[in-house]
A = this chain, B = another copy of it.
Amino acid sequence: MPGGAAQLLTAPYAGGSLFANRSLRASGKVLPEHARSHNRSLVLQTLYTEGAQSRADVARETGLTRVTVSDLVAELIGEGLVVELGQREDARPGKPATLIDVDRTGFHIIGLDLSEHTRFRGAVVDLDGSIVARAEVALDGATGERAYELVAELLDGLLALTQTRVLGVGVGSPGVVDPNGVVRSAPNLGWSGLALQERLAAAFHLPVHVANDANVAALAEHGTTPGDLILVKVGHGVGAGLIVGGRPVLGSGFAAGEIGHVVVGTDGGPRCACGKHGCLEAWLAVPRLTAELARFEGAADAASARDETLREAGRRLGIVLAPVVGALNLSEVVLSGPAELLDGPLLEATAETLRARTMAEQHRDLRLRMTAFGQDIVLRGAAVMVLSGQLGVS
């Protein structure tokens, strides 16, 4: 490898610092106790995802020694988070193992979904994600403080439905929500700067986590599949939640996922409430779709007209998603909303459009599908958020 091929070209020139930027700095100091809480979470999460097993199994899985695992498990048992289940049944050489597991019957989680237009929904969820009880309150146009009171009433009612220790409360709220659970802006509910997380935590003396409804829904989906994904939530409006690199994307102004008012295509479109023409919401929102479909009722070619309306909406969604899927190299796009509208021609048209408008080779493994959680996606996601926040690594 001769050095002659490279030649000195120009005189040195002065630059600034390579990174003046603080955000590349380590987040803060790490003490031994932080390491321990990390390992504690590691044990908990191993138990949660792998199910009942012995301390030795956990040690092998985590890479920690049996000694350390025993110590951590003793601490967790002391707090009631983990329980011993007796000896393993199957016949193997060696001393029989004592099975341990997260106390799956010992805790409930409360999930709240504030994203619907006419009501707040809530549920009691157990640690495995089964919904144990449900409740709801009608909104009746309530806004501001009255809307907050309805949230508190709903939560109060849900807490009365369980006698089990409550791990925490997860809330999916519409609008822009910051990492501290302050609803910066939720026009429909007349909230701006409402410290929802803080107020609920203070009023109920429970851990509370509040996030944007679409982000919460994305958490629910991410729980079931690896890889990066976008969840598109179609309802009265259109919003999205993104998981990139295993983490929810918040955005510089905590407004990530607000794609409802991005203009689609270069050929106009329906007028939107925001004043622009051809916003995604103007094509895809449920009220607009149902109104459009109603126009064809009873007509001769009702079926094909309905089909074409849905396909057009699906194409529009694909047009908006294509740059996002391409730029982020997403592996999964999930739709949430009324299945009778979304699951069919609309979904198919979105898939076709996505395929046609992105580089197919890069996205061969791209999956587009409806959520399997139906209407409960935000409730389930809220539970995931609590589980991850209370038991997981921060």
Point out residues on A near B: beta carbons under 8 Å: 1-10, 12-26, 28-32, 34-35, 38-39, 41-42, 45-46, 48-49, 62-64, 122, 125, 127-137, 149-150, 152-154, 156-161, 176, 203, 222-228, 230, 240, 242, 244-247, 249-267, 274, 276, 319-324, 326-331, 356-359, 362-363, 365, 380, 383-384, 387-388, 392-393
Taken together as a complex, chains A and B put the C-alpha atoms of A64 and B136 apart, in Å, by 49
Residue of B nearest to A149 (CB): B1
Taken together as a complex, chains A and B put the C-alpha atoms of A387 and B15 apart, in Å, by 15
Judge whether B329 and A135 touch: CB under 8 Å: no
7 chain-A/chain-B pairs, Cβ below 8 angstroms: A2-B156, A3-B160, A18-B127, A21-B224, A24-B223, A249-B329, A320-B323
Judge whether A329 and B245 touch: CB under 8 Å: no
User: How many identical subunits does the complex contain?
Assistant: 2
Residues on B with C-beta less than 8 A from A260 are 359
Contact A20 to B357, CB < 8 A, known contacts A30-B38, A35-B35, A154-B5:
no
Cβ-neighbour of A242 out of B122, B176, B253, B327 (below 8 A):
B327
CB distance from A185 to the nearest CB of B (A): 9
Cβ-neighbour of A19 out of B19, B224, B265 (below 8 A):
B224
Judge whether B38 and A26 touch: CB under 8 Å: yes
Instruction: List the 4 closest pairs (A to B, CB-CB), nearest first.
Output: A6-B157, A251-B329, A19-B223, A252-B331
Cβ-neighbour of A7 out of B136, B240, B392 (below 8 A):
B136
Judge whether B330 and A28 touch: CB under 8 Å: no
